[in-house]
Amino acid sequence: MRGAPRILDEFERRLKVKPGQTTKDKEFTLETVACLGCCAIGPVVVVDNDYHAHTTVRKVGPILKKYQR
């Protein structure tokens, strides 16, 4: 799935949580799904119902920064 495991690893590293866990500050919960039904724009990351298409490891930081308080 176009590098999704590496992207997940980067989210885990930056957030210091595993899938199914919530960060200590309760700001992020990391979840995985098998399919979002949008393969043509994958890998896809969804935050607060916002879809981030063609996600790469390099985009993880900017995505998190956008949603951090």
Amino acid sitting at position 69:
R
Q: What is the pLDDT of residue 52?
A: 97
pLDDT score of 13: 98
- The partner residues of 32 in beta bridges, in order of sequence, read none
User: Which domains does the chain possess?
Assistant: 4-67 (3.40.30.10)
pLDDT at position 3, please? Answer: 85
pLDDT recorded at residue 23: 97
Which pLDDT does position 69 carry in this prediction? 85
Convert the pLDDT of each residue in 5-61 to its tens digit. Answer: 999 999 999 999 999 999 999 999 999 998 899 889 999 999 999 999 999 999 999
CA angle 66, 67, 69 (to 5 degrees): 110
Helix axes 4-15, 57-67, angle to 10 degrees: 40
Instruction: Tell me what pLDDT residue 1 has.
Output: 63
Q: Alpha-carbon distance 46 to 52, whole Å?
A: 6
